[in-house]
Amino acid sequence: MISFLKEAAKVKPSKRQLDWFALKSYAFIHFGPNTFTNREWGDGTESEDIFNPTELDCDQWIEAIKSAGMKGMVLTAKHHDGFCLWPSKYTEHSVKNSPCQIDVVKAAAEACRKGGIQFGFYLSPWDRNSKLYGTPEYNDYFCNQLTELLTEYGDVFYVWFDNACGEGPNGKKQEYDFPRYIELIRKYQPNAVIFNDFGPDVRWCGNEAGISRHSEWAVIPRELCFYSDVQTGEGPLAKQGDLSYLYNTNQNLGTMENILYSKGLTFTPAEINMSIRPGWFWHPEEEPHSLEKLFHTYLTSVGANSCFHLNLPPTTSGKIDERDVSRLQELGKLLEQEFGNEIPSSIEKVDSQYPTQPKYSIVFENTRADFKYIVLEEDISQGQRVESFQIEAETEDGSRYPFYQGTTIGNRQICKLRDPFEGQNPLTKSIENAAKKLIVHITSARDEVVMKSIKIY
């Protein structure tokens, strides 16, 4: 069992996954006929005439995205209604037959390049307009459209799929050929990260409300992410159990009780996604979520071994709603305020005879440090290993007081002691007044711990 844990500790991310983690947050853009019908899901019978943004301004999108510190954008090139935001050769249900006749995908991709952020797209496998849907020929149709997007719009950092599936005109549900889709993406955009409920690069967190798990592992059983590369052999109890029950809503993915029964492990981290409003498409009566909700979701996504994918729906004019723009600017300013200036400190690894339980001493250059957050990062290029940790305060007389306990670390764990929406916690204040230094103690790990950084804000 110990040897298997060491093997699990060496399951590593690809370069494209490391690059994805480095982005921290990026935007989703839901835009299409639903914007003009005030619906969330279209049925594919909408007239092309309805799509007519008279003031389309993708540069405005990019400025709004950048104001919140996001570094990429994923455009809904086609939603479930089958309407294409580019002039696809394979359907008439596209912008080429709309009043505006604008290649929105091209405009968005060029705006991303001009604005210095990365461009990606979402292509819905479900197509409620195509007469081929529900037949084997539909996969050819889908691959033709996918190839257009992969080859005609420059570099793509992200291709986003879901598994939404309905019945076609023949009354049958479509069997998606995801291995074929993945092969096409690897051929034409080898650096692109692929999102799907079940891998290969990034998986669904299990909800669309921006809610994260208490403990998030990127190293998980292949039974869930069957499109991902398997990097280990079977767990020691693999022949004694069944993990077919695993789904993205399971709260214990990657924990010991699951990986021991696995048929192999993959490195497939989760994305936390939500919309800035209750709906994914723009609805004039809706208001953006509070700054507090967005900030806390950032802490529990970027700060919990995930990335934050925030949807921003343009209005019928083709611009991001000014209410949403203002909220994004507020978020960007708050993130800069809270994480823009690291508190100077010296970090020293304390000698320990237990490589899976090291301690790190943090001494502030100023004796009275007003700290709110402790940010821990493992060097996940070597694997994700930490299972639990605690943070202690050491006083002048050498006494130690544990005041924070956590589970996984992974790429980044933001330990929040207090934030702008809360008053000063008496415990935190007493720690600040009495602490000579802080000790980060890794209490459990699967193999020797390799920390990348410890920062105080």
pLDDT tens-digit readout, 314-344: 999 999 999 999 999 999 999 999 999 999 9
Closest CA to 208 of 244, 159, 162, 267: 162
Report the alpha-carbon distance of residue 440 to residue 27 in Å, rounded: 34
- Report the pLDDT value the prediction gives residue 62, as an integer from 0 to 100: 98
> How far is C-alpha 186 from the geometric centre of its chain's CA atoms?
20
Torsion angle of C-alpha atoms 14, 17, 22, 27, degrees rounded to 10 = 160
Q: Residue 369's pLDDT is what?
A: 64
End-to-end CA distance of the chain: 39
425 pLDDT above the threshold of 80: no
* Spatial contact of 301 and 265, defined as CB atoms under 8 Å apart: no
* Cα(62)–Cα(372) distance, integer angstroms: 31
Residue 401 Cα distances to 41, 94, 208, 386, 413, angstroms: 53, 63, 38, 21, 21
Supply the pLDDT for residue 41. 96
Strands 373-378 and 413-416: antiparallel
Which of 195 and 401 is assigned the larger pLDDT?
195
pLDDT higher than threshold 60 for residue 427 = no
pLDDT digits (tens, 9 = 90+) for 268-319: 999 999 999 999 999 999 999 999 999 999 999 999 999 999 999 999 999 9
Question: Tokens standing for 392?
Answer: 């202690």
Q: How confident is the model at residue 383 (pLDDT cuts 50, 70, 90)?
A: very high
Mean pLDDT of 350-367: 87
pLDDT of residue 429 exceeding 70: no
| CA pair distance 211, 323, nearest whole angstrom | 23
Strands 451-456 and 373-378: antiparallel
Q: What are phi and psi of 79, to 5 degrees?
A: -100, -170
